[in-house]
A and B are shown apart, each in its own frame.
Chain A
Amino acid sequence: MKKALALLLALVMALSLAACGSGGSDEKVTLNVIISQYGNYTQEWWTQFEKDFEDANKSVDLNIEIVSWNDIYSVVSTRIQSKQQPDILNISGFADYVEDDLLMKAEDYTSAEVQAKIIPSFWESNAIDGTVWALPILASCRSLFCNMDLLNEAGVTAPPTTWDEVLTACQAVKDKFGDSIVPWGLDISTDEGQAAFAYYTWNMGGGFQDESGNWALNSAENVKAVEYIKQLIDSGYCNSAPYTDTRYPLQDAFSAGTLAMMIGPMNMVSADSTVNYQSVAIPGKSIGVGICDQLMVFKNDSVKNQDARTEAIKAFFDFFYDCERYSDYMVYEGFLPATTDSSDYLASNAENHKVGGSDATGSSEYFKTFCAQLPNCQFYPLSEAEWIDVKNGVIEVEQKVCQGEISAQDALNNLQNSITAG
């Protein structure tokens, strides 16, 4: 018994000595990175990235972790609670972290070259009171998708350009196909109901904020927009469960040819779909809904050599935003670049890069078209601390009004009051 114990003790000591040895001999900077899962093959791309980066930067140990969108917010807040926050995080929204003083300023870790090539409006969109707190990782743009075969068969010759034309087109599809085709795809679910709010309010002249950046949730235009959504449902033009249908089954239905029209991101039609479709500006004011996720850097006071850490982070971003590598990622995931050099490059070279998980290559035409749409896009007010409450609030408004529980005006008034009251 005693012998066994002694042996165990010796073993433990040896192991701890070994651990000391490996800790002391080199001074590698470790960077923990959390990346959101944009597609089924996100992991593969970043595994390669990690290898390439470590080969090029021997003094940095990069740990990249891919987290699904379902879990990422809870994963990150759990890590923050236990003071294990990542060094670099890819997520949507950063105002809450700024409020708790967790982030580093973007200018502290962005090299002049990287800053120069980020599209200026994206750079500024991540600012709170003039300070930029995050970098744009990618952009996507929402527009209206129409199944032209179905519309033509129903006697509609061109995609609708006004909201009245949308109603006419829906009625035509309904008259022609009855139950077998859903005329208009609508998602006002908890998943992404704020997107629907943006589609309709922005293109009817309203929105989340007024021109001076104050919350203007109960504007007359917004009331009209929410009532319009209710009208779409009540007329029987939409999928039957807009409260719970997320965008994904609707995209599948569109790709399969059983849904005539819906607003969605530019890469929503599945690669193997045979649907003859057109993607056009959202009716009304033709304002595209832009989604722009961010990369941000957390402070870490426990690191002794802060300069080395900042240098490593700088190197990470220089490496990531390198024109060809960054462009490759955009083609791989099917998103739009947030840098000027990659936008130019992809407009003619997308064919040199592969789409994730397939042998298909990118299409320069696609990048040309959609990068040109980006300037017409508006973005969510992610830099506002109230954004999470506003986002959940508008979804609740949509659902309550469409259920007929409360009028659009009252619901929006209540929301406006609760947000501005803090």
Chain B
Amino acid sequence: MKEKQTPRARLNRKRVEPYIWLLPSILLMGVMILVPIFSVFQTSFSEISKSGINKGFNGGVNYLWVFQNPTFWNTLKNTVIWTIVVVGISTVLGIILGLVLNEKFHGRKLVRAIVVFPWATALIIQSVIWKYIINADYGALNALLYKLGIIKSYVNWTATPEQFFAWECFVGILVTVPFVTFCVLSGLQSIDTSLYEAADVDGATFWSRLFKVTLPLLMPSLTVSTVLNIIYVFNSFPIIWTISKGDPADQTHTLVTYLYKLSFTNQKVGEAAAVSVVGFVILAACASVYMVITLRSEKEE
């Protein structure tokens, strides 16, 4: 069977081979990612009847409807707040927690395991549990505070949309912190201890060690965790859908829950696709900023 290959054939093989290996993933990406994206764009410019039939191209009518709808703008505002608050606060808390967990103390393994817990549990389960904890009539929070004598009568924790949204952000932070913590921990472990020894010799204080040594060296892991979190949190569906379904009066939606409701409750598929495209564009913009920054820093290196 074995044939002798000419140098030329060998070269050709070398050139082609990587692409053969890449073919499955390229095919997979094409079918699972590009085709759906194309079809969402197409749907967003089509009139879809309530029973789901495509009635053809209708120009920008769906987009016009979306942009004229105040709920959409409120949703967009919520999405920005949601992403910034959840990613921002979890990053700060994650760094602190990561620094603490990097110190040696008794029961460190146990604490690390506990920290993973909210992350390892399915999001939907956590959301349901929190929904019941904060319920004013039969929730655990009121019962606990009442029994402890901290409150005299039951408090309605979710009287306004803002309160609902604040709780949702809280749950979002709770489930995002562990991921940041572990990114930070892995980053910390890759920092050479000799750097700290050198800093000690130079008489560095705790704060200057933190800001001059630790944080700069943590930057690569923080960038990864922040970018991933922005994408996850922006697209996060279960927390908001489980706790409030975007209500009261559609005021606690983010783009993802809003387009889900448009599509599956209100049966406005074309409009939902338009919202989806808007979300896609925003995320694509964020991702390109990230690409530009990383490419630039790679060049500098």
Binding site for B on A (CB under 8 A): 73-74, 76-78, 80-81, 96-97, 99-100, 102, 178-179, 182, 189-190, 239-241, 243-244, 249, 253, 258, 388-389, 392, 396, 399-400, 402-403, 405
Contact B266 A81 (CB under 8 A): no
* B36-78 contact mask (Cβ, 8 Å, vs A): 1 or 0: 0000000000000111111000000000000000000000000
Contact A81 B137 (CB under 8 A): no
* B93-106 contact mask (Cβ, 8 Å, vs A): 1 or 0: 00000000000000
Taking a contact as CB atoms closer than 8 A, the residue among A96, A249, A399 that contacts B51 in the complex is: A96
Contact B138 A258 (CB under 8 A): yes
Contact B136 A102 (CB under 8 A): no
Contact A178 B51 (CB under 8 A): no
Taking a contact as CB atoms closer than 8 A, the residue among B146, B264, B266, B267 that contacts A96 in the complex is: B267
Contact A396 B249 (CB under 8 A): yes
Q: Which residues of A contact B249 (CB under 8 A)?
A: 243, 396, 399-400, 403, 405
Closest Cβ–Cβ distance, residue B198 to chain A (whole Å): 56
Which B245-270 residues have C-beta < 8 A from chain A? Answer: 245-251, 261, 263-267, 269
- The 3 A-B residue pairs with the shortest CB-CB distance, nearest first, are A77-B52, A240-B136, A243-B248
Q: How far is the CA of A77 from the CA of B269 in the complex (A)?
A: 10
Binding site for A on B (CB under 8 A): 49-54, 135-138, 146, 153-154, 156, 158-161, 164, 243-251, 261, 263-267, 269
Contact B158 A190 (CB under 8 A): no
Q: Which residues of B contact A249 (CB under 8 A)?
A: 138
Q: How far is the CA of A102 from the CA of B154 in the complex (A)?
A: 52
Residue of A nearest to B43 (CB): A81
Q: Which residues of B contact A102 (CB under 8 A)?
A: 51, 53
Contact B53 A100 (CB under 8 A): yes
Q: How far is the CA of A182 from the CA of B261 in the complex (A)?
A: 30
Contact B135 A190 (CB under 8 A): no
Contact B266 A241 (CB under 8 A): no
Contact A99 B158 (CB under 8 A): no
Contact B52 A403 (CB under 8 A): no
Q: How far is the CA of A39 from the CA of B143 in the complex (A)?
A: 32
Taking a contact as CB atoms closer than 8 A, the residue among A77, A244, A399 that contacts B243 in the complex is: A244
User: Chain A interface mostly helix, strand, loop or mixed?
Assistant: helix
Residue of A nearest to B269 (CB): A77
Contact A388 B50 (CB under 8 A): yes
In the complex where A96-B267, A388-B266 touch, is A244 in contact with B245 (Cβ < 8 A)? Answer: yes
Contact B261 A77 (CB under 8 A): no
Q: Which residues of B contact A97 (CB under 8 A)?
A: 51
Q: Which residues of B contact A258 (CB under 8 A)?
A: 137-138
Q: Which residues of B contact A240 (CB under 8 A)?
A: 135-137, 154, 156, 158-159
In the complex where A240-B135, A240-B136 touch, is A77 in contact with B51 (Cβ < 8 A)? Answer: yes
Q: Which residues of A contact B158 (CB under 8 A)?
A: 240-241, 244
Residue of A nearest to B142 (CB): A179
Contact A244 B137 (CB under 8 A): no
Q: Which residues of A contact B54 (CB under 8 A)?
A: 81
Residue of B nearest to A190 (CB): B245
Contact B135 A80 (CB under 8 A): no
> Please, could you name 9 A-B residue pairs with CB atoms under 8 Å apart, sorted by A?
A81-B54, A100-B49, A240-B159, A243-B244, A244-B247, A258-B138, A396-B250, A399-B247, A402-B248
Q: Which residues of A contact B51 (CB under 8 A)?
A: 76-77, 80, 96-97, 99-100, 102
Q: How far is the CA of A78 from the CA of B154 in the complex (A)?
A: 45
Taking a contact as CB atoms closer than 8 A, the residue among A178, A182, A189, A388 that contacts B247 in the complex is: A189
Q: How far is the CA of A102 from the CA of B50 in the complex (A)?
A: 12
Q: Which residues of B contact A80 (CB under 8 A)?
A: 51-53
Q: Which residues of B contact A182 (CB under 8 A)?
A: 137
Q: How far is the CA of A97 from the CA of B250 in the complex (A)?
A: 27
Closest Cβ–Cβ distance, residue B91 to chain A (whole Å): 30
In the complex where A178-B153, A190-B245, A388-B266 touch, is A241 in contact with B50 (Cβ < 8 A)? Answer: no
Q: Which residues of A contact B159 (CB under 8 A)?
A: 240
Q: How far is the CA of A239 from the CA of B156 in the complex (A)?
A: 10
Closest Cβ–Cβ distance, residue A206 to chain B (whole Å): 21
Contact A78 B52 (CB under 8 A): yes
Q: How far is the CA of A100 from the CA of B248 in the complex (A)?
A: 33
Residue of B nearest to A239 (CB): B137
Q: How far is the CA of A179 from the CA of B269 in the complex (A)?
A: 43
Taking a contact as CB atoms closer than 8 A, the residue among A76, A179, A399 that contacts B154 in the complex is: A179
Closest Cβ–Cβ distance, residue A74 to chain B (whole Å): 5
Knowing that A100-B49, A396-B250, A399-B249 are A-B contacts, what are 19 other residue pairs whose CB atoms are under 8 Å apart, sorted by A's residue number? A73-B267, A96-B51, A96-B267, A99-B49, A99-B51, A100-B51, A102-B51, A178-B153, A179-B153, A190-B247, A190-B265, A240-B135, A241-B136, A243-B249, A244-B245, A253-B138, A402-B248, A403-B161, A403-B249
Residue of B nearest to A103 (CB): B51
Q: Which residues of B contact A402 (CB under 8 A)?
A: 248
Q: How far is the CA of A190 from the CA of B250 in the complex (A)?
A: 9
Q: How far is the CA of A400 from the CA of B251 in the complex (A)?
A: 10
Most chain A beta-carbon contacts within 10 A, residue among B51, B161, B164: B51
Residue of A nearest to B55 (CB): A100
Residue of B nearest to A80 (CB): B52
Q: How far is the CA of A243 from the CA of B158 in the complex (A)?
A: 10
Q: Which residues of A contact B244 (CB under 8 A)?
A: 243-244
Q: How far is the CA of A96 from the CA of B136 in the complex (A)?
A: 39
In the complex where A239-B137, A253-B137, A399-B248 touch, is A392 in contact with B156 (Cβ < 8 A)? Answer: no
Q: Which residues of B contact A100 (CB under 8 A)?
A: 49, 51, 53
